[in-house]
Amino acid sequence: MIRVLIVDDHPVVRDGLRAVIDGEPDMDVVGEAGHGAEALARVADADPAVDVVLMDLRMPVMGGVEAIGALRRTHPELRVLVLTTFDTDRDVLPAIEAGATGYLLKDTPRDELLRAVRSAHRGEAVLSPAVAGRLMGQVRGRESGPGVDALSARELEVLRLVAAGSTNREAAKQLFISEATVKTHLLHIYAKLEVRDRASAVAAGYQRGLLVPGVL
């Protein structure tokens, strides 16, 4: 028997999910919660233990991402399946990074939802097609977008000097090139990192791993 906890701040949603899940011979809804903090308490008090948590994300008191992280730390064997209406980058990636086993949208058909619960119980990753497509887009964007290989060795040297606070003249002196050449390198850096100024270039450098704090 797969013991399921439903976490959603809308009672009508919880009622609907309970009706679907309790109708299955191998599943049992053992509790409900209206937010993440309540979910933590329900899991801690559950006997027998909860197997799968159906977790919404945007809820009062404690949201889903924070609750997922807490549950994974205290109950690493627990499977958390996100079920939400949101599929933006700000929702998908943090939830998966926090430890969610799967991510579904609330328009998922009944049969697919039930298969996902069973798959999550087995420890298998479950992603709705829309979410999988978004994640693939993120990966492809990282592979094809500006990165370490996008800047030449000289451009990286210029960027590091700028991050260290050097002026164009000081950078030119250290690299034994003209100040005009430094300016040209900066223009190329701005274009490749899709920024407009020195500060944004440095920020982008840290975000993309081109610069490492304390190493210039």
Tens-digit pLDDT string for the chain (216 aa): 999 999 999 999 999 999 999 999 999 999 999 999 999 999 999 988 999 999 999 999 999 999 999 998 999 899 999 999 987 777 887 888 888 888 999 999 999 999 999 988 988 778 887 776 666 555 445 544 444 447 888 999 999 998 888 889 999 999 999 988 999 899 989 888 888 888 878 888 887 878 876 544
- In sequence order, what are the residues at sequence separation of 6 or more whose Cβ sits closer than 8 angstroms to the Cβ of residue 7? 32, 33, 34, 35, 36, 38, 39, 53, 54, 55, 56, 59, 64, 67
**pTM (predicted TM-score):** 0.65
| Domain boundaries 148-207, corresponding CATH code | 1.10.10.10
Q: Where in the chain is the domain with CATH 1.10.10.10?
A: 148-207
**Residues comprising the chain, all counted:** 216
What does the pLDDT read at residue 146?
A: 46
Task: Select from 18, 7, 15 the least CA-distant residue to 40.
Answer: 7
Specify the CATH superfamily of domain 2-141: Response regulator (3.40.50.2300)
Residue position matching structure tokens 């049992």? 28
What does the pLDDT read at residue 135?
A: 63
What does the pLDDT read at residue 166?
A: 87
Please tell me whether residue 49 adopts helix, strand or coil conformation.
Answer: coil
What does the pLDDT read at residue 149?
A: 45
C-alpha–C-alpha distance, residues 81 and 209, integer Å: 31
Q: Where in the chain is the domain with CATH 3.40.50.2300?
A: 2-141
What does the pLDDT read at residue 192?
A: 87
Residue type, 8: D
